[in-house]
């Protein structure tokens, strides 16, 4: 009796988990299709605005990476100077 109860509880939990994962996958796929269709139906002005937004984000990322690169180069140069002074 106890084994049957544990088996039934485990089965219900497994079914619930699998159903949740499957449902989330369906929702993601549906949202992706909607976004794709929205992009395809966008006017040229809307597409241009989206591209400009993406470009601005990429330029910001590039500037951040350049700043980090300069900091790393400065630390390397500083280390080399300290080693040469020894």
Reading the chain (86 residues) residue by residue, the pLDDT tens digits are: 788 999 999 999 999 999 999 999 999 999 999 988 888 888 889 889 999 999 999 999 999 999 999 999 999 999 999 988 87
Tokens of residue 52, six digits: 């400009």
Report whether 50 contacts 42 (CB < 8 A).
yes
What gap in Å lies between CA 16 and CA 86, rounded to an integer?
Answer: 67
Tokens of residue 71, six digits: 């900091």
Tokens of residue 78, six digits: 């500083």
What gap in Å lies between CA 71 and CA 49, rounded to an integer?
Answer: 33
Cβ neighbours of residue 42 closer than 8 Å, sequence gap 6 or more:
50
Per-residue DSSP letter, 50: H
What gap in Å lies between CA 22 and CA 28, rounded to an integer?
Answer: 10
pTM of the model as a whole = 0.50
């Amino acid at each position: 009796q106890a084994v049957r109860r544990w088996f039934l509880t485990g089965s219900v939990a497994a079914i619930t988990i699998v159903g949740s994962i499957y449902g989330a996958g369906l929702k993601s796929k549906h949202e992706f299709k909607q976004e794709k269709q929205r992009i395809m139906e966008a006017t040229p002005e809307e597409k241009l605005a989206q591209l400009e937004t993406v470009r601005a984000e990429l330029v910001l990322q590039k500037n951040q990476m350049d700043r980090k690169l300069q900091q790393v180069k400065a630390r390397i140069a500083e280390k080399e100077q300290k080693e040469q002074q020894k």
